[in-house]
Amino acid sequence: IAELLIEASKRTQLFVTTHSDILVSALSNSPESVIVCDRDENGTKLRRLKTKELELWLEDYLLGDIWLMNKIGGNP
């Protein structure tokens, strides 16, 4: 599914939500394509992941694993 989403996103804008760490892990090579959604008392905030900030983590873990460890937000 992730490969199809990446391919389709080259032709059109996509907005996909998931609670699947497997799908998130499939995007480990392009973390900048992931936007994390967090909510607090001030409202909802969307934040695009930055590959540079995740380089060290991605050496040892898949993106879905990092998300499950709650290191990138999004309340796994």
pLDDT tens-digit series, residues 20-58: 999 999 999 999 999 999 999 999 999 999 999 999 999
pLDDT tens-digit series, residues 57-66: 999 999 999 9
- DSSP for 8-76 reads HHTTS--------HHHHHTTTT-GGG-EEEEEETTEEEEEE--HHHHHHHHHHS-HHHHHHTTSS-S--
CA distance 53 to 40: 23
Q: Are 5 and 16 in contact (CB under 8 A)?
A: yes
- Reported pTM: 0.86
Scan for tokens 């392009």, then name that residue: 30
